[in-house]
Structure 1
Amino acid sequence: MDVADETVDTLLDEGTPPGDVLVVTTGEQHPWAQHELSFGEDAYWRQLADGEDVFCVHTTELARVGRRAVVVLAVNGGTDAQAAEALPAALAKADRSLIVCGDPQRLRDLL
């Protein structure tokens, strides 16, 4: 998760608008998503609709999300099958680029 967060920071520092970035997790929800969900589902999903900030979503909810210029996939858990399914699903949401963060050996094995 730390590498995914650093990647997002770099993207933003390089001028990528926050609303162009989607972070997808395969294991535990991103801490930002956990925090936002504590205010309720409506407020959380409203931020997605506003489209002005980086949005974090679990792969199981990816179907509810539209495309973004950049998708950062954090392979931070879940089964190998779930992680393998997340790769093409995240790619389908990326207009410009998909950045995958996780254990390199696990990612090689999944590919």
Structure 2
Amino acid sequence: AEPSPSGPAASAAPAATPQIQLLPASAEGALDAAEEALDLLLDSGRSPGEVLVITTGAQHPWTEHELSFGEASYWAQHDAGDDVFYTDATFAARAADRPVVVVAVNGGSAETATTALSAAHSRAGALLIVCGDPQTINSVLGAGV
């Protein structure tokens, strides 16, 4: 095969579609459901650096804490790639691909949820876990998950 040009528009092979799991939870319980899913992933042998967690409403406490040191420090942890990285829908498009992406639909507008789910789907290599109200998620996705 001929080498393909490098750059954001080119890729060597089309990305596989990740498996999607829906964990029903209220908006108030979505973050807890995401934390439980993360614990199960880590307990089953997933490396922390393989997981990205995105919130659609209030930021995860880790995100708030790390951003208190400034965005440069926050993104340096992302770039290191050796731990779970937490972000919100605002920054999700900037996050790198990871094998597993967990989304907590914990509030925010439908537009925010759409943005987060779109970013999550494009960044998840093997597994996308969405925690939230199934009706809200289905209305955002436009079809059953």
- TM-score computed with the length of structure 2 as normaliser: 0.72
Out of 43, 67, 73, which is 1:13 matched to?
43
> Which residue matches 1:103?
133
Secondary structure of the residue aligned to 1:60 is coil
Matches within 5 A, 1:17-96: 17-96=47-126
Alpha-carbon distance in structure 2 between the residues aligned to 1:109 and 1:48: 31
- The offset of 1:73, in angstroms, is 0.7
- The offset of 1:103, in angstroms, is 1.6
- The offset of 1:31, in angstroms, is 0.8
Q: Which amino acid aligns with 1:100?
A: V
Instruction: Say which structure is richer in helix.
Output: 1
Alpha-carbon distance in structure 2 between the residues aligned to 1:65 and 1:17: 17
Secondary structure of the residue aligned to 2:91 is helix
Mark the runs of 5 or more structure 2 residues left unpaired by the alignment: 1-30
Alpha-carbon distance in structure 2 between the residues aligned to 1:36 and 1:85: 22
- Percent of pairs with identical residues: 55
- TM-score computed with the length of structure 1 as normaliser: 0.93
- Cα deviations by residue, 1:64-83 (Å, 9 ceiling, x for unpaired): 21100000011111111221
- The offset of 1:91, in angstroms, is 0.3
**How many equivalent pairs are there?**
111
Alpha-carbon distance in structure 2 between the residues aligned to 1:84 and 1:49: 25
Mark the runs of 5 or more structure 1 residues left unpaired by the alignment: none
Alpha-carbon distance in structure 2 between the residues aligned to 1:60 and 1:12: 26
Q: Which runs of 4+ in 1 moved over 4 A?
A: none
- The offset of 1:60, in angstroms, is 1.3
